[in-house]
Structure 1
């Protein structure tokens, strides 16, 4: 009986030890990532002589690296190309660090990715079109960086996206028509950019939308009536744009800045409230 127990314990240990082993390629990718982001200065460092499973913020499952969570850990420098060899990643959380450089085309390798949060960094350049190949992505948070250029025209391919937060960057141009195809969106935060053009009437497709923030851009034209039919919409800010026309009282009540717009000379004014029969907006918790 004693020998059977011993055998069982050895078997369990062997299984756990095997499960702890990640491929040499993934381990090498992590090590390159550690050195490229000045790991010796991290708040929570890795002991590279120990097993990957002991490394702070690294999640493994069945011998694969599935998650990296290193927010506010003093990461500096650029993400190395090897980082995108971690093809089994489901979640990446690197917010509140000092990462620089561009998001590379190779991000398309992370086909299993559902969460990407690199907000509050110093990333620059454009959002690569290749990010639209991440079809499982549900949460994309790139806010508080130095990103520029236009939004990828094929962003609508991200048809499982629930959170898109790109605020506080330098993104310009019109909203791509494909963005209105993402019917799963619950949070759309694009404020504090340089976006322009009109909002499409297809905004009515955002059935699940709860929070819409577009303030401090250069949007113009009339505010689509379809916004009033988004029954889940409970937070909204469209102010500090160049919208014209009238707006319903229900929509105005959702905007904490009372629909304050800018005219062609940069002078602020309040959009006129439409006093005709209005569509009630039902908020849901």
Structure 2
């Protein structure tokens, strides 16, 4: 009995040492190594020592023996994302913004059902957004502005009830804005600037009572502005310029004093540009700024 007790005590101690030294399962470690190899890890600004404990690798967050965060913002990643990234099933934060990642999004990325923050803005990713994006039930931020995305905005984005920020600006996205976007009751920022969107703005946008930023400029949107815009009492930033609207009459009935930014093609509406951080709101000002970020 004493020997058995000692054995289990030693097992517990060794397990504790394993977690303390930043170890994770072989499958999760293999996925991290794949990410390193697929994005030319040797050329990163801050590379990983693959022989060192994983908790010493820049930008990797570990909790209870699992990878829960990867933050490699502006770190000179290139190449493509590996399919095995879907094996990091405990991942809640993925921030690979301001790099040079190309290719398409891996299909298995929609297996990351614990993901809350997904940031891949200012890269060179092409192709369509995976249709299974609604599997990411916990998602709060989905930001991929300034890539080369094509296809349409998936209708099932409307199922992501926790989404607070959706930014697809500066891509090649076509089609109409899905009515289902109006189901995102927690949405605070919607950026669809500089795409090839067409059709009318859905009236359901008026359901987004928490929306603070709405950036739809530089598209091919038409028709009239929905009267439901009058319900957007929290809106502070509204940009609609460079579209094909038949009428902006609805905007004349809105209280423009509520806005920090108010930009349309109707000069009689007195555009407003208060002292704010434009790099976060006016995507036109950020386009291709990543060209020299990593010099």
TM-score range, shorter chain: 0.7 to 0.9
1: CA distance, partners of 2:223 / 2:51: 60
Match of 1:17 in 2: 18
Residues 49 and 258 of structure 1, relative CA distance in 2, 3 Å threshold: closer
| Residue 250 of structure 1: how far off its partner (Å) | 3.3
Contact preservation (8 Å) 1:252, 1:259: no
- Which is strand-richer, 1 or 2? 1
**1:265 maps to which residue?**
none
Q: 1:182 aligns with which of 181, 184, 202?
A: 184
Matched, 1:122 2:127: no
Matches within 5 A, 1:111-190: 111-190=113-192
Which residues in structure 2 correspond to 1:67-106 (within 5 Å)? Answer: 67-106=69-108
1:200 CA drift (Å): 1.9
The answer to whether the Cα contact below 8 Å between 1:185 and 1:206 also exists between their aligned partners in 2 is: yes
What is the Cα deviation at residue 231 of structure 1? 1.3
Question: Given that residues 105 and 131 in structure 1 are in contact (C-alpha distance below 8 angstroms), is that contact kept between their aligned partners in structure 2?
Answer: no
Counterparts in 2 of 1:49-68, with a 5 A limit? 49-68=51-70
Secondary structure of the equivalent of 2:150? Answer: strand
Q: 1:217 to 1:255 in 2, by over 3 A?
A: farther
8 Å CA contact retained: 1:239, 1:257: no
Name which of 235, 238, 260 aligns with 1:236: 238
Task: Find the aligned partners of 1:119 and 1:249 in 2 and give their Cα distance.
Answer: 35
**Shift of the alpha carbon at 1:123?**
0.1
* Aligned equivalent of 1:34: 36
Q: CA deviation at 1:131?
A: 1.4
Distance 2:118 2:67 in 1: 15
Contact 1:139 1:163 in 2 (8 A): yes
TM-score norm. by structure 1 comes to 0.84
Shift of 1:17: 3.2
Unaligned ranges ≥5, structure 1: 1-10, 261-269, 274-285
Alignment of 1:259 with 2:259, yes or no, is no
After TM superposition, give the deviation of residue 257 of structure 1 in Å. Answer: 6.5
- What is the CA–CA distance in structure 1 between the aligned matches of 2:242 and 2:219, rounded to whole Å? 7
Alignment of 1:198-209 (within 5 A): 198-209=200-211
More displaced stretch, 56-65 vs 242-251: 242-251
Q: Secondary structure at the match of 2:91?
A: coil
Return the offset for 1:13: 8.3
**Match of residue 248 from structure 1:** 252
Aligned to 1:267: none
Residues in 2 aligned to 1:154 and 1:251: alpha-carbon distance in whole angstroms: 32
Higher alpha-carbon deviation: 103-112 or 248-257: 248-257
Unmatched segments (≥5 aa) in structure 2: 1-11, 270-295
Say what the alpha-carbon RMSD is for the aligned residues. Answer: 2.1
* CA deviation profile, 1:237-281 (whole Å, cap 9, x unmatched): 011111122131536664857521xxxxxxxxx3776xxxxxxxx
User: CA contact under 8 A between 1:238 and 1:255: conserved in structure 2?
Assistant: no
Cα distance in 1 between the residues matched to 2:116 and 2:23: 23
Shift of 1:115: 0.3
Paired residue secondary structure (2:61): strand
Q: Deviations over 1:134-180 (max 9, x none)?
A: 01000000001000111112111111100001000010100112111
Q: Quote the Cα distance in structure 2 between the aligned partners of 1:255 and 1:72.
A: 29
Whose helix fraction is larger, Structure 1's or Structure 2's? Answer: 2
